[in-house]
Structures are given as structure tokens and as C-alpha cells.
Structure 1
Amino acid sequence: MRKRFLFPALFGVIFGTTLFIFHQESGSGIVFNPEPGSDNRSDTRRLINRTPFTTGLESLPNSLQGIQVDGELQPDTAGNLILNSDVRRVFDFFLNAVGEEPKDQIIGRIKAYINWQLPDLAAVQALQALEEYLALREAMGDEPSNMKIDSFRFSDERELTSATLRNNKQLILELRSHYLSPHVDRAFYEEEDLFDEYTLAKLALVENTELPSTEKAAAIAELEAALPEPIKQQIASVSRLQLLSQLKKGWKMEQGDAAALRQIRESVVGSAATDRLEKLDQQRSDWQSRVDAWMVMRGQILVEESLASQDRMVELDRARSEYFSSLELKRVQALEYLRDYTHGL
């Protein structure tokens, strides 16, 4: 664990710029509303304009050239910033180039881009959010991945338990609370926090040795069903297959039957995908049966005393070509090599 990330939180170093604003919900994010009488737009405008950029997109670093800015900066009808995860993505788009050009220059780009994209009031609010976010990134070592629950490094994979990761998540939440105003934190990380909570709850279920695999699959399906639609879409097929693999291992250890395996699969990937997986299982089983039979036949040919050594190789090639298609030959020869190697032949 990179403990230096936690020192600001542990020693209570609190970011000094507090936003004297309140917020209200909007259809696409949080809308800023400044306190009556508070207007520092002119000072902030002068700060923004002290950069060599007009749009922030001039002479971009190589890694950003030809790439569209990720996210949008948008005001509402009253000119206030709509604060959502898009704002954070815009900041990260430019900050990803840290190392290619000086950090101060990148920050100047972001400020110019804010000025170019937004009216005065929304620009001021975006700058306030930027200052908080930059302070958080600095505390985390300027590495966004350090704000993920699995960012801390472990000497043993067995330490990656749901309890350990939940503790890491809590440390990250505490650090964020020192640097981000509640509305900024919510706008930037709400979806990520929901997904993390789902992930941690799912991992705890997988770790539970007292639950049979069928009940685990059903409980995980319920967790996923409760997620907002955008987060459901983030759960890619790869993560589903990884989960399915874990549950299938449990099913094997329990010596479950075919009906239990189908129930597990339907809970994770649905009926249609389960049908395809069962068909694939059958194809794999058929292939393995053919390979097993061939290995027996091959073994018999290799010890056939009536054939000279060279003739055995000729007979092997002939029999293999009859037994397998041209597309299968390389695959089976690789299996033969592996079998001979493991047996010291």
C-alpha cells in the first residue's frame, strides 16, 4: 500500500477552498447556484486568461492528438454549470498528458478550455471544481488509478479479500471527503461508488463458503438487478464469464449435477447464452473423447513391435490424418508434444 497517499487524510489536511454554494438536482447532473452577492467572475476570468491558450486544444501533446475530448462541459438555462461525471472526464482527458508537457501547462489548457466552452458563471464553477480535483489528485500521487478500490498493492493475492478491499474503499472515501465538496464528490464518483459497492457485495458472496453455488448465483443476480441501468451496461461479458468461472469451480467442488450448473448459468448470463454454453460443453466433451481415444491408439502404435521405428512414425502420421481434419492436426500434435513432455518422453 502506498501509505503516502493516506497521510493528508490521516493528519486532517483539509483543502482550504470551500465552496459557498448549494445545489439542486437536474436531469443530467447537479446544477450550481451561487450564494446571493457572491460573484468572483471577473477575478477568475483574469486567472483563466493568464494562459497561452485560447481553446486549450492548440498543439496538443502527441497522446491527445486526433482524439475527441472525452465528456462535455454544459451550462443550464440559467448559466450555471451542470456538474456531472462528464466534467471529471474532461479534466482527466487533459491530465492524462502529465509527463508529456509540464503540469502547469496542462492546467492552463484546462482553464482555457473551460473559458472557451462555458459562460462566465459556469466557468467559475467549473474552475472551483477543478481546484478541488487537482488537490485530490496531488494527494493521490497524480494517478487516477490510485482512487480505485484495487489500487493498493498486495504481496499475496490471498490478501485481496472483500474485507480488505472494503477497507481500502473506506480510506479512499475519507481522502476524497477532505478534498472534494459533497456535491462535487457525488457528481464525479456516484456511479463508480455504486459499482464498487456491487463489486464488494458480489465478492463477499463468492467468498462465502456456507452458501451453495446456486444460491450465490441467485443473490448476485439480485444485486445486479438493483443497479441503475447505466451501471448495468458497464458490466461487460468478460466480468460475467469470470464470475461464471468462479461459480462453476464451486459447483465442481460440490459435485453438482447438470441441472444445478444450468441454474447457475441462467442466473448469470441468461437462458440463450446458457444454451450456447451447453452446446460448447458438448463440443468440448466430444473433442476430449476423440483425443483420449487417439492417445490410446497412438500409444499402441508407438509400442508396435512388428514395425521399425521409422515405420511407426509413418503409421502415426497416416492414422492421425485419418482421425483428425487438417484444421485439427496442429492442435492434436501440440497435445501430443505436451503429453510426451509431461511424461518425460
Structure 2
Amino acid sequence: MSNNRHFPLLPIVIIAVIIAITIAVILWFKPNDSGVDALPMTTTANSNDGELDLTNMAGSNNSVSTSSNQDNAGFRTGLENLPRSLQGTDVDGEIIIDENKQLVVTEGLRRLFDYFLSALGEEDEAIIYTRVQSYIRNHTPEPAASQAMTIFDQYVAYLKAIPDIENRYGNLQLQATENGELDLNVVAQQKQDVAKLRQQHFEKATITAFFGAEDEYDDYSIEMVKINQNQQLSDAQKQAAKQDYISRMPDNTTKANLTQQANLNELMSRTEQMRDRGATVEELYSMRRELVGAPAAARLAQLDQEDANFDQRFNQYQAQKQRLLSQTNDKAQAQNQINQIEQQLFNDAERKRLAGYAAVQQQKMSNTN
């Protein structure tokens, strides 16, 4: 169960057709709310994978008697006797109020809800509802506390409704992507249905705060797929179209993250191309400085040196290992000597890399042959 819960508009089964840059962007970056003159409370928590089952979660206090549940659970702060998955974590998210003690809705409030909801399956829905209420009321004055609980009720109702849309369009995409391409018409219709559902449950400001950045990433993902599926464009034209799309985005955290990721992908691509044609260290540094700046270029140059040093020691290790294995029939004695060589040539962290690194090198040799 991810504490930073998202319900992406692109069905999971067709994510494989989205380019690696898009997946990396979505996984690596999360927008941060800032610039609010208020009383922030922001912490982070660990992530756990799973699915939400919100069928019986209380909506507007109809199926949960909050006062009696709070007494029965013995909650004061909502953090007492946390379930195993939340033990040892910090509360993820934030509650922000203005100078009039009115709630300022942010994406961090959604993350706060998701933090507690991630324990579904370990705890009864009513207990989780009471945890959230106790936490909010312990940390938040009125009227902001009641405002936050109202939005929590709306959010739970939304989470209960969204799987129907995802399942319906997921099945459509299964039928439409047999040729290996994403049906963007199906995606567009799904986006419309999700937008309508959000309008049924939330005010406009809450929709923007909770889902604005997510929608920007979804729009970006769809545009990248559209560009990649355009067979009339060359690879260079596709790259230019992607850069043009990012350049026309509003100047915000999402754009900054996508620009950084685009630069990183361009960096990796150009580095590989330049190495294939035998570029010098100075040429690599100049290219990297242009894309990511001098400090990052210097760090990458240092990493190159460290990698080259590791490669040299790894080749020395492999040669000695093969010699020992070929010259003795006593495999136990040979392994003891190999272990000694490992300790001489590599530190603890590097020794953990050896098996995986050897497999990668073997795969490279197989691809070359």
C-alpha cells in the first residue's frame, strides 16, 4: 500500500507501452506544496504495497458512531497502538490552516488521509476513521478540523467509486491494445468520467489541490505516448516535440521535475553515444556541463573514475578466480582463496555488487556475440 496513493488514469496493464521516461518521472517525483502563510505540519512515512478495500468505510458518519468508537479505541491523538505497517514511521502529509483557523486544502492533506488509509486490511474501517478524526481534532482547531473531516468523508466516497471506472476502462484497453498501442480515445473518455466523478464529490479548490499535479503528469504521459505513436515523425522530431511540450507547460514544480528528468534522459543517451565513438573525458565533461551544470558534471566525472577503478579491480578478480578454479580440483580450497581475493580487492558494499555485476557483464558479452 503506497502512503502517497494515486489512481492513475492510464490502466496498469498498458503502462508497459509508456516510455521509460514517463514511468520514471511518475515514480521519482512528487510535488511539494509551499508558499502558504499558515501553520504547516509535514512529515514522511514509509510505503507499503496493496489495494484499498473501501466498501464499508464510513462516509458522512452514517455507519460510524465517532464518539463511541473513539472511546472504545482509546484514541486521543490517533497514533496510539498503530498497526504493524505504520509502526516506526512518521505521519506523511500536512494540515495547514490560515490566520482565521480556516483549512487550507493542499495535496499534503490527501497524503495524510492516505497514510492512515494504507492500514486497511490490518485495521477495521471504523477504527481507521476514528484514528483520522482523533488525529485531526488533536492537531487542528475549529473550524478547520470539521472542514478536514468533511473532505475526508468526500475522499473516502470518491475512493469507493473510482475502481468501477478503472475496471471498466481497463477492460476496454485490454481489447484495444492488442496491436501494442495505447488507445488514446479510451484514455480521453476515462479522464472525462474521472473528472465528472471528482466534481460530484469535491469542490473545485479541493480537486485542484488533491489532483492538479497528478493531472499534469497524466497529460504529459498521454502526450508522450501520442508523440511516440506518430509514425510520421522521425526520432529527432519526436524528441523536439517532447521538449516543446515541456517548454509550453506552466512554470511550476511539475515542469521543473519533467525538465530535470528530460535532461537526465538526454544526458544518458548522449553519454552512451559519445562513449561508443570514443569521446574523451573532456568532451564528456563539456556535454554534461551544458545539460546539468558544472557541479553535476564534476560529480559524474568522479563517478566515471570510480567505475573505471571498479572495472579494473573486477577484471583482476575475475582473472584470478578463473585461474584458481581451473588449476585445482579442491573446490573448497579454491573458494577460500577466492573469498580472500574478494576481501583484498573490494569493500563490504562492493562485494555485494559482485554477483549482479558479473551477470550484467556476461549479458553484455552475450549481446555483443
- Report the TM-score, using the length of structure 2 for normalisation: 0.52
Q: Which residue of 2 aligns with 1:229?
A: 252
Distance 2:108 2:361 in 1: 53
Quick one: structure 1 residues 270 and 75, their matched pair in 2 at CA, closer, same or farther if it must change by over 3 Å? closer
Distance 2:221 2:152 in 1: 29
1:118 aligns with 2:140: yes
Task: Give the conservation status (yes or no) of the 8 Å contact 2:181–2:229.
Answer: no
Q: Which residue of 1 aligns with 2:36?
A: 28
Question: What is the Cα deviation at residue 175 of structure 1?
Answer: 2.1
1:128 aligns with 2:150: yes
AA at the equivalent of 2:36: S
1:160 aligns with 2:162: no
SS at match of 1:158: coil
Percent identical among aligned pairs is 28
Write the deviation string for residues 143-177 of structure 1: whole angstroms up to 9, x where unpaired.
9xx69x98986374724244443333223222222
Q: Which residue of 2 aligns with 1:199?
A: 221
Distance 2:259 2:224 in 1: 15
Write the deviation string for residues 171-198 of structure 1: whole angstroms up to 9, x where unpaired.
3222222222222212211111122112
Quick one: structure 1 residues 229 and 109, their matched pair in 2 at CA, closer, same or farther if it must change by over 3 Å? same
1:174 to 196, 205, 208: 196
Give runs of aligned pairs for residues 1-345 of structure 1, distance below 5 A: 27-28=35-36, 49-50=67-68, 51=70, 52=73, 53-141=75-163, 154=174, 156=178, 158-225=180-247, 226-235=249-258, 334=362, 338=366
Question: What is the Cα deviation at residue 199 of structure 1?
Answer: 1.9
AA at the equivalent of 1:183: A
Distance 2:164 2:261 in 1: 29
Task: Give the conservation status (yes or no) of the 8 Å contact 1:72–1:90.
Answer: yes
SS at match of 1:208: coil
Write the deviation string for residues 248-285 of structure 1: whole angstroms up to 9, x where unpaired.
xxx9xxxxxxxxxx9xx99x9668899989xx9xx9xx
- Report the TM-score, using the length of structure 1 for normalisation: 0.55
Of 119-128 and 209-218, the range deviating more from structure 2? 209-218
AA at the equivalent of 1:72: E
Question: Looking at both structures, which has the greater relative contact order when contacts are Cα pairs under 8 Å and sequence separation is at least 6?
Answer: 2
Quick one: structure 1 residues 208 and 123, their matched pair in 2 at CA, closer, same or farther if it must change by over 3 Å? same
Task: Give the conservation status (yes or no) of the 8 Å contact 2:113–2:132.
Answer: yes
Quick one: structure 1 residues 61 and 233, their matched pair in 2 at CA, closer, same or farther if it must change by over 3 Å? farther
Distance 1:219 1:338 in 2: 35
Task: Give the conservation status (yes or no) of the 8 Å contact 2:182–2:225.
Answer: no
Q: Which residue of 1 aligns with 2:54?
A: none
Aligned length: 245
Q: Which runs of 5+ in 1 are unaligned?
A: 1-25, 31-42, 252-261, 284-325
Quick one: structure 1 residues 152 and 77, their matched pair in 2 at CA, closer, same or farther if it must change by over 3 Å? farther
Task: Give the conservation status (yes or no) of the 8 Å contact 1:150–1:165.
Answer: no
Quick one: structure 1 residues 200 and 244, their matched pair in 2 at CA, closer, same or farther if it must change by over 3 Å? farther
Distance 1:332 1:242 in 2: 21
SS at match of 1:71: coil
AA at the equivalent of 1:109: R
Question: What is the Cα deviation at residue 200 of structure 1?
Answer: 1.5
Question: What is the Cα deviation at residue 209 of structure 1?
Answer: 1.7
Distance 1:95 1:84 in 2: 17
Q: Which residue of 2 aligns with 1:3?
A: none
Quick one: structure 1 residues 101 and 335, their matched pair in 2 at CA, closer, same or farther if it must change by over 3 Å? closer
Quick one: structure 1 residues 109 and 335, their matched pair in 2 at CA, closer, same or farther if it must change by over 3 Å? closer
Quick one: structure 1 residues 54 and 142, their matched pair in 2 at CA, closer, same or farther if it must change by over 3 Å? farther
Question: What is the Cα deviation at residue 241 of structure 1?
Answer: 6.3
Question: What is the Cα deviation at residue 106 of structure 1?
Answer: 0.6
Write the deviation string for residues 68-104 of structure 1: whole angstroms up to 9, x where unpaired.
1111112110010011111101000000111011111
Quick one: structure 1 residues 29 and 63, their matched pair in 2 at CA, closer, same or farther if it must change by over 3 Å? farther
Q: Which residue of 2 aligns with 1:12?
A: none
Distance 2:103 2:77 in 1: 18
Quick one: structure 1 residues 79 and 271, their matched pair in 2 at CA, closer, same or farther if it must change by over 3 Å? closer
Quick one: structure 1 residues 134 and 54, their matched pair in 2 at CA, closer, same or farther if it must change by over 3 Å? same
Question: What is the Cα deviation at residue 54 of structure 1?
Answer: 0.9
Write the deviation string for residues 262-312 of structure 1: whole angstroms up to 9, x where unpaired.
9xx99x9668899989xx9xx9xxxxxxxxxxxxxxxxxxxxxxxxxxxxx
